[in-house]
């Protein structure tokens, strides 16, 4: 069935023939009927419990009927949202108008070069460049209009690589330490299985060898003679590290590490000092690091600290005087929120604490420089930065707003005295700063421009307000909420609101700026982030209290935040729309079943809504590696019963649901398209209320469409649906 826009049609399936038909005209053109997916009962019995799955057949994307069904759902969604077309176009136009399309990132110095990326008006993807450092350079060279720098060398033009392909993504982009070679990888389907190539930056030639099915993050040896890369297995688990010697056939590459434990994933990298290659193997609760002299890439790797179940650690290297190098080891051995310790390079088990464990501070990362350490941490739901000088004294860098987020930027120069960081808040556009590590002084290098709309309306941060509020969960836990709205927003329940949530993997959804969000705020919306348990906003315990057999805390925290917004007069249930993606899509599906009355609409993007079916199948991508996150329902009856009590697909009932929009991608490796397809099919068959819509990108992956204009179109579709569903203008 071709993809096309259809208005006023009825979509039917034919059980007798077992095929999808061309949509026929409807006698009720104003209210199209949804597709009726065929019901083919498939029995699953685990631990004595039997579940009848009527839509398991949708898991076969090679079945023409599956594709036809997805296309029919797309046509139904298009028909049901046809009245939002003008609003979609308006929102897309606002995003585009506010964005500086021809722009330049802040260049980062590495050796004798400034590296940067730029975008050009009308082009979907970035252009990756460098310019030689000049004697008169006093800082990163910038052109305010975003035009190319004088003397620019284009290393990679993603627009040329993408060509006319409907999808394109870069997986790797790594310049060798000497600046002569570039390793890059590409994906044209959205499957996140990349093909790796090497380009000679002196001659401009790309080597004929191509290495398929690679993962993110290759690493160069110190002299650029060897490239280390990671390959994935059939379940999309990164498990092998290979060494490729430049100038030799890829068929001669050598396997240097294989992780046989299916709970573990591997990655490879270079320490900041570029003295050591590093292989890291990690499960959700345990890690192990192996090092090798980067100047001798053909040698063996040596383990730093042998793995012990439940102990996580990461390693950074700092060059010392008289070859007294040391390792910086961030670990959680008897330190739930992690401790930073140092150890002699030759005796890594002899740990000396540098920053002791604190109940209120989660240490996240450490970067080693010649004269300083930069420690990234989280406290009171906010991120922070601590600088430690060579003499052991330290300072924490202060930031002025009540809610904000910072993150380390590109800092490849080991000898630098400046620390590059990114800063932003709900009202402050993304900003790039250099922090003088000796004094703590911050220098603003660039702030994301927000251009005025064609009518002259300018973005002024002072027109908006951002606050931190706290909801109270059912067990008494206080849940932080980050909130932004225009000043003067009424507190009488009349305002529409969008509430976002995630809550898994210790991933934090920190307050950040969004150009597209302005299209909501300027239509009278408020926007809030529910920092629910399962994320990492309040430390490691926050995460532990929202996983495994405590996963339901994530869902009840979110509904508590929704009820808080209503109780405080910010909004009312019919005007409150919930949004989440991936594991946050599981959250959306769960609260739809548990508290449908709390929401006027729900957006679930690439949602993990058939969680139990997926986690029961060890052959699927990510399943075995995630048993430590969700539990192992295949072998543990208690986990099975607990997951079955909340997994969204299996708990759809005949109750009244709010309107729901599901968005997915056919080639998603992380959350298979079949999960939202089955979920929406079951909602359409069994649920009341709605409507229940499904939008499937037929050539895309977990992140949706790849080009920036395509992404803006996709976001405009979602935001227009949110505005229309909440009854806003």
Name, in order, each residue with C-beta under 8 angstroms of 506's C-beta and a sequence gap of 6 or more. 535, 536, 540, 543
For residue 9, what pLDDT band results from cuts at 50, 70 and 90? very low
Residues of the chain with pLDDT > 90: what percent?
Answer: 89
The answer to whether residues 438 and 527 touch, using CB atoms and an 8 Å cutoff, is: no
| In the predicted structure, residue 1 carries a pLDDT above the cut 70 | no
- Catalytic pick among 187, 510, 557, 668: 668
pLDDT tens figures, 507-538: 999 999 999 999 999 999 999 999 999 999 99
Count of CB atoms situated within 10 Å of the CB of 631 = 20
SS3 457: coil
Closest to 221 measured CA to CA, from 264, 254, 186, 185: 254
pLDDT at 322: 60
pLDDT (0 to 100) of residue 649: 98
Q: Which of 245, 254, 253 is nearest to 223 (CA)?
A: 245
Mean pLDDT of the chain: 93
Structure-token match 């052109």, residue found: 143
- Per-residue confidence band for 705, with pLDDT thresholds at 50, 70 and 90: confident
pLDDT at residue 30, as a whole number: 67
Give the HSE-up count for residue 460: Cα atoms under 13 Å, Cβ half-sphere.
6
Query: Would you say residue 492 has pLDDT above 70?
Result: yes
Q: Is the pLDDT of residue 631 over 90?
A: yes
Task: Please count the residues of the chain.
Answer: 729
Which pLDDT value is given to residue 323? 60
Residue 18 has pLDDT above 70, yes or no: no
Contact 329, 342 (CB under 8 A): yes
Structural tokens at position 688: 């009341």
In the residue annotation, 702 being an active-site residue is answered as yes
Alpha carbons 725 and 626: distance in angstroms, whole number: 35
Query: Does the pLDDT of residue 11 top 50, yes or no?
Result: no
The predicted structure's pLDDT at residue 620: 86
pTM, two decimals, is: 0.93
Do the beta carbons of residue 207 and residue 200 sit within 8 Å?
yes
DSSP summary character for residue 284: S
pLDDT at 19 over 50: no
The arithmetic mean of pLDDT across residues 626-635, rounded, is 96
Nearest to 406 by CA among 467, 464, 361, 364: 364
Q: Which of 609, 689, 685 is nearest to 655 (CA)?
A: 689
Round to whole Å and give the CA distance between 111 and 557: 48
Encoding tokens for residue 180? 């002569």
Specify whether the CB–CB gap between 268 and 281 falls below 8 A. no
Which pLDDT score is estimated for 729? 53
Q: How far apart are CA 713 and CA 71, in angstroms?
A: 19
Q: What is the pLDDT of residues 35-90, one digit of tens each?
A: 999 999 999 999 999 999 999 999 999 999 999 999 999 999 999 999 999 999 99
365 touches 349 (CB < 8 A): no
State yes or no: pLDDT of 26 exceeds 50.
no
Is 668 catalytic? The answer is yes
Peptide bond into 691 cis (omega under 30): yes
Where are the extended beta strands (E) located within 425-575?
Answer: 431-436, 442-447, 464-472, 478-486, 497-501, 526-530
Q: How far does the chain reach from its first CA to its final CA, in angstroms?
A: 35
CB 326 within 8 A of CB 276: no
Catalytic residue among 482, 531, 702, 706: 702
- Cβ-contact 512, 563 below 8 angstroms: no
Closest CA to 527 of 586, 464, 452: 464
Question: Where residue 22 falls among pLDDT bands split at 50, 70, 90?
Answer: very low
Q: How far apart are CA 467 and CA 583, in angstroms?
A: 26
Report the DSSP beta bridge partners of residue 423.
406, 431
Exactly one of 287, 482, 516, 582 is catalytic; name it. Answer: 582
- pLDDT greater than 60 at residue 12: no
pLDDT in tens, 561-604: 999 999 999 999 999 999 999 999 999 999 999 999 999 999 99
CB neighbour list of residue 208: distance below 8 Å, 6 or more residues apart: none
Q: What is d(CA 464, CA 468) in angstroms, rounded to the nearest whole number?
A: 14
- Confidence check: pLDDT of 625 > 70: yes
Each residue's pLDDT tens digit, 118-154: 999 999 999 999 999 999 999 999 999 999 999 999 9
pLDDT at 638 over 90: yes
């Amino acid at each position: 069935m071709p993809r096309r826009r259809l208005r006023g049609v009825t979509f039917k399936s034919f059980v007798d023939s077992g095929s999808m038909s061309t949509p026929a005209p409807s006698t009720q053109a104003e209210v199209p009927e949804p597709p009726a997916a065929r019901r083919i009962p498939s029995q699953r019995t685990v631990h004595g419990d039997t579940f009848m799955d009527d839509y398991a057949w949708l898991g076969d994307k090679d079945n023409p009927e599956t594709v036809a069904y997805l296309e029919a759902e797309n046509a139904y969604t298009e028909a049901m949202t046809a009245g939002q077309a003008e609003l979609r176009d308006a929102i897309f136009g606002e995003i585009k108008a506010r964005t500086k399309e021809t722009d330049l990132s802040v260049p980062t110095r590495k050796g004798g070069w400034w590296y940067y990326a730029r975008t050009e008006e009308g082009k979907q993807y970035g252009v990756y460049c460098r310019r030689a450092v000049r004697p008169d350079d006093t800082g990163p060279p910038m052109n305010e209009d975003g035009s190319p720098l004088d003397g620019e060398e284009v290393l990679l033009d993603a627009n040329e690589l993408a060509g006319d392909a409907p999808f394109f993504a870069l997986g790797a982009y790594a310049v060798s330490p000497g600046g002569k070679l570039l390793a890059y990888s590409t994906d044209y389907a959205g499957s996140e299985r990349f093909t790796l190539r090497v380009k000679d930056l002196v001659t401009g030639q790309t080597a004929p060898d191509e290495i398929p099915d690679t993962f993110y993050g290759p690493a160069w040896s110190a002299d650029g003679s060897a490239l280390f890369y990671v390959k994935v297995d059939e379940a999309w688990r990164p498990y092998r590290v290979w060494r490729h010697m430049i100038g030799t056939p890829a068929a001669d590459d050598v396997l240097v590490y294989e992780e046989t434990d299916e709970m573990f994933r591997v990655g490879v990298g270079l320490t900041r000092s570029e003295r050591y290659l590093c292989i890291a193997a990690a499960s959700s609760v345990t890690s192990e690091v192996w090092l090798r002299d980067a100047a001798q890439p053909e040698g063996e790797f040596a383990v730093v600290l042998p793995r012990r179940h439940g102990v996580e650690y990461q390693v950074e290297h700092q060059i010392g005087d008289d070859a007294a190098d040391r390792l910086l080891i961030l670990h959680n051995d008897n330190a739930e929120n992690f401790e930073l310790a140092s150890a002699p390079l030759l005796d890594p088990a002899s740990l000396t604490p540098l920053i002791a464990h604190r109940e209120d501070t989660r240490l996240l990362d450490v970067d080693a420089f010649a004269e300083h350490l930069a420690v990234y941490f989280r406290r009171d739901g906010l991120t922070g930065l601590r600088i430690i000088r060579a003499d052991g004294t330290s300072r924490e860098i202060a930031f002025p707003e009540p809610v904000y987020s910072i993150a380390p930027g590109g800092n490849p120069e080991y000898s630098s005295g400046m620390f590059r960081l990114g800063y932003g808040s709900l009202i402050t556009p993304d900003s790039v700063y250099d922090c003088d590590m000796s004094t703590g002084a911050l220098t603003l290098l660039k702030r994301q421009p927000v251009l005025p709309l064609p009518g002259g309306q300018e973005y002024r941060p002072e027109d908006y307000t951002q606050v931190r509020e706290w909801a109270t969960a059912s067990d008494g836990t206080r849940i932080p909420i980050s909130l932004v709205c225009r000043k003067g927003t009424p507190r009488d329940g009349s305002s529409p609101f969008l509430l976002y949530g995630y809550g898994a993997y210790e991933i934090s959804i920190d307050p950040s700026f969004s150009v597209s969000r302005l299209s909501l705020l300027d239509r009278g919306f408020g926007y809030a982030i529910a920092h629910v348990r399962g994320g990492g906003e309040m430390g490691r315990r926050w995460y532990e209290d929202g996983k495994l057999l405590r996963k339901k805390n994530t869902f009840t925290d979110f509904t508590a935040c929704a009820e808080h917004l209503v109780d405080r007069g910010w909004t009312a249930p019919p005007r409150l729309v919930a949004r989440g993606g991936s594991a946050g899509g599981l959250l959306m599906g769960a609260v739809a079943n548990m508290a449908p009355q709390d929401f006027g609409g729900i957006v679930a993007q690439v949602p993990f809504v058939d969680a139990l079916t997926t986690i029961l199948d060890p052959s699927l991508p990510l399943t075995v590696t995630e048993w430590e996150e969700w539990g192992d329902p295949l072998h543990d009856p208690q986990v099975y019963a607990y997951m079955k009590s909340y997994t969204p697909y299996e708990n759809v009932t005949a109750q009244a649901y709010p309107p729901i929009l599901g968005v997915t991608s056919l080639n998603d490796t992380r959350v298979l398209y079949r999960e939202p397809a089955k979920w929406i099919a079951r909602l359409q068959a069994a649920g009341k209320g709605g409507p229940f819509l499904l939008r499937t990108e037929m050539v895309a992956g977990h992140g949706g469409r790849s080009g920036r204009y395509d992404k803006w179109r996709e976001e405009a579709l979602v935001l227009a649906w949110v505005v229309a569903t909440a009854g806003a203008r």
